[in-house]
Amino acid sequence: MKIRCSALGRLMTAPRNKTELLSQTAKTYIQELVLEHKYGIKKEFSSRYTDKGLQCEDEAISLVNDVLGLGFIFKNEEHYNNDFITGTPDVNTNEILLDIKCSYEASTFPFFETEIPTPAYFYQLQGYMWLTNKTEALLCYCLVNTPIEIVEDEIRREHWKHFKIDEDAEIREFVEKKHNFDQIPDNRKVKVFTIERDETVIWAIQNKVEEARIYYNNLIEMI
């Protein structure tokens, strides 16, 4: 049993009771793995937020490249794993390890943040650095226009919210403005957090995976 880097934030949450080794959040994730591995019951997570992230990934990588002047970077397709974790970073070249997060709208973009808004991403990138033997990673939040099909879904949702059956021009304009960022300079549509590799954290991840495996094996025997 290996842990996906994208799930390390769940695994590494602190338990409420200090006598426990795993938090309830971690246990829930491991329970999902048990059901997936033993019975093929896979919990799929998809939303308009993840849909935008997937659809806009290439555009966001291009935006980061232009703003940061990184030279030639491209989407990584290689999957990495070691004895404990597995993952696929968005960009991994000889010089750069980078992960992209597309903000859904401007209100969720970290214009003024000085620390990573979502702590789980810190663990995700520590995992990527461990897998790729990098000492530094860039977490890049990007603000790119929302794809039109998602905008249209939002317009319909907004009409339903206001009990509108017929097209309302004001509602359409309101939603479209929320998802178009052409008025913002490109250099303000990328927020970068530099994360240094922390061997103490990596060691803690390894220990937590070992604890998770004990719980995982107990559950496998139970069902």
Q: How many CB atoms lie within 10 A of CB 208?
A: 21
Verify that 58 and 74 share a domain, yes or no.
Answer: yes
pLDDT, tens digit (0-9, with 9 covering 90-100), for 39-72:
999 877 778 999 999 999 999 999 999 999 998 8
Verify that 75 and 160 share a domain, yes or no.
Answer: no
Burial of 41 (0-12, 13-18, 19+ CB in 10 A): exposed
Nearest to 219 by CA among 43, 44, 32, 7: 32
Does any domain span residue 15? no
Verify that 114 and 133 share a domain, yes or no.
Answer: yes
**In this structure, what are the phi and psi dihedrals at residue 33, rounded to the nearest 5 degrees?**
-65, -40
Distance CA 67, CA 19 (A): 47
pLDDT at 42: 87
Does any domain span residue 30? no
Distance CA 11, CA 3 (A): 8
Verify that 161 and 104 share a domain, yes or no.
Answer: no
pLDDT at 129: 98
Verify that 100 and 140 share a domain, yes or no.
Answer: yes
Does any domain span residue 31? no
Verify that 62 and 101 share a domain, yes or no.
Answer: yes
Does any domain span residue 29? no
Distance CA 147, CA 61 (A): 16
pLDDT at 203: 98
Verify that 103 and 198 share a domain, yes or no.
Answer: yes
Distance CA 78, CA 118 (A): 25
Verify that 86 and 169 share a domain, yes or no.
Answer: no
Verify that 54 and 106 share a domain, yes or no.
Answer: yes
Does any domain span residue 167? yes
pTM assigned to the model: 0.93
Does any domain span residue 194? yes
Nearest to 130 by CA among 201, 69, 66, 182: 201
**In this structure, what are the phi and psi dihedrals at residue 141, rounded to the nearest 5 degrees?**
-85, 135
Length of the chain: 223
Q: How many domains does the chain have?
A: 2
pLDDT at residue 117 above 80? yes
pLDDT, tens digit (0-9, with 9 covering 90-100), for 192-201:
999 999 999 9
Verify that 81 and 111 share a domain, yes or no.
Answer: yes
Q: At 188, which CATH number? A: 3.90.320.10
Does any domain span residue 175? yes
Verify that 131 and 168 share a domain, yes or no.
Answer: no
Residues forming a β-bridge with 100: 140
Verify that 130 and 197 share a domain, yes or no.
Answer: yes
pLDDT, tens digit (0-9, with 9 covering 90-100), for 160-194:
998 988 999 999 999 999 999 999 999 999 999 99
> Domain residues for 136?
49-145+182-205
Instruction: Answer whether 212's CB lies under 8 Å from 31's CB.
Output: no
